[in-house]
Structure 1
Amino acid sequence: MGVADETQRGCDGCDRSVAVADLTTVSMPDGTLVACCPRCTPHARAAAKRAAELDTTKGTCDGCRTTVAESDLEDVVLTDGAVVSLCGSCREDRPGRSRTPSSGVADTETTEIARRKSLCTHCHEWVDEERYRVTLVDDRAEKLCETCKETAVETGIVVDVSMRRTDARDILGVDEGASTAAIRSAFQTQIKNAHPDRPTGTREAFRLVTEAYDRLRSSQ
């Protein structure tokens, strides 16, 4: 019977077997520790740094008044025309959901949210799709609809376009509302397939999978 070689271990990035002494432990912002070979360590540190930077962008939910990641806030319009920014929990537990009290008669509060819309900060139109978070050449951050984003890119005034949650979910193959554990599991599977040292991977695929994970993890 073979004896396990305790001096070797698989890299959490590329899954190659390397000497334990050559592995570097990188701490992710959510507390996860990953052990990477010298080639994967820079990628892991870059991903950890990006995720940490995303965590510093905070906002206040108009519902529960708690401070959450700005990426988790979404503008919604009430039937009276008021616009509020709600976190994921408040959007799920929002007023206006049909309730069946002890009398058995369904009731709907008068503050019912009429529609879930997003306001483009450029054209000021309400849109159904998720907006693009862009950074302009003058360091202003805007949340644009697809049309305004494309126009801004074409005119050369955009420095960076952040990945949308919608696109991140498509890349990792998870549904809306997926748990943190499900997102992490999908990331671990996808990142191994996308690693440049594997036949199925490329540098661009690795970057996209990492960015998708950062985007979804920051909104948990």
Structure 2
Amino acid sequence: MAVVGDKRVGCDGCGRTVALEELTTVTMPDGQQVVCCPDCEPHARAAAQKGGSLDQRRDTCDGCTGTFLVAELEDVVLDDGTVLTCCPSCASEAPTGDDDDTASTDTDGPADAGTATGPESADDAQYRCTQCHEQVSEEPFCVTTIDDRTERLCAECKANAEDRGIVATVEMRKTKAREILGVEPDVTDDELRAVYHEQVKRAHPDRKSGSKSAFQLVTDAYERLQDDD
């Protein structure tokens, strides 16, 4: 924290030097005190309320569920696209496509003992909540957190994340997109395109049957079903 003369002090948030009387001291949950200018003060207080300091935020490892500094955690991407946030120890032991849980995801082979049987066996990994690690029978929610992590959460974990205020966006689920457009999971690209053109014309704001919100909803559903994810 730089002091210029006796009257100006550097803000711990943005680094600007401002008049001493304009600065406010905010105490973070870990006891650290930060000195903020009027612009940074609301952000510092919000960070304090959420339980993390400006540079000492902590989060939970998806593996051992221990609490670590955010800087110590790393994202581990599994072969199925699932993203886990792990401490260094759990990151080194994170499963790969050759390990136990994912070894049975070959769609052409028979289901192994102890896993889901039939065509659902190929979906085991992508239908596992990245927070509680429980397998879920319905499509998980693709959630982007406020620190730009991507999580695939069951309904309960999504609700908990929203209650904690760490959710930035929630992507539309493919099951919801299919429901909006009225198509089946095995719809072909050509069939999907034809249904979209029909629905989007009906939903266009220029028509009596349409509205801006309906038009956007149909468009979002179509774009979601075009995603490979």
TM-score (norm 2): 0.50
- Aligned counterpart, 1:193: 202
* Contact 1:135 1:158 survives alignment (8 Å): yes
Name the amino acid aligned to 1:166. Answer: T
Structure 1 residues 160 and 205, CA gap change in structure 2 (3 angstroms): same
Name the amino acid aligned to 2:135. Answer: W
Q: Secondary structure at the residue paired with 1:134? A: strand
- Structure 2 residue 156 is matched with structure 1 residue 137: no
1:34-73 residue CA offsets vs partner (Å, 9 max, x unmatched) = xxxxxxxxxxxxxxxxxxxxxxxxx9967xxxxxxx69xx
- Structure 2 residue 131 is matched with structure 1 residue 122: yes
Q: Runs of 4+ in structure 1 displaced over 4 angstroms?
A: 59-62, 109-113
How far apart in 2 are the matches of 1:130 and 1:180?
A: 21
How far apart in 1 are the matches of 2:224 and 2:148?
A: 20
CA drift at 1:84: 5.4
- Aligned counterpart, 1:181: 190
Instruction: For structure 1, list consecutive stretches of 5 or more residues without a partner in the other structure.
Output: 1-58, 63-69, 72-79, 98-108
* Contact 1:137 1:158 survives alignment (8 Å): yes
Structure 1 residues 110 and 127, CA gap change in structure 2 (3 angstroms): closer
CA drift at 1:184: 0.3
- Aligned counterpart, 2:101: 82
How far apart in 2 are the matches of 1:148 and 1:112?
A: 23
1:92-119 residue CA offsets vs partner (Å, 9 max, x unmatched) = xx2018xxxxxxxxxxx88986444311
Q: Secondary structure at the residue paired with 1:142? A: strand
- How is 1:28-107 mapped onto 2 (pairs within 5 angstroms)? 81-83=100-102, 91=107, 94-96=108-110
Instruction: For structure 2, list consecutive stretches of 5 or more residues without a partner in the other structure.
Output: 1-76, 83-98
Q: Secondary structure at the residue paired with 2:152? A: strand
* Contact 1:96 1:113 survives alignment (8 Å): no
Identity value in percent: 40
Structure 1 residues 168 and 84, CA gap change in structure 2 (3 angstroms): farther
* Contact 1:61 1:85 survives alignment (8 Å): no
- Aligned counterpart, 1:210: 219
Root-mean-square deviation (CA, aligned residues, Å) is 3.2
Which structure is richer in relative contact order (CA contacts within 8 A, separation 6 or more)? 1
The aligned length equals 132
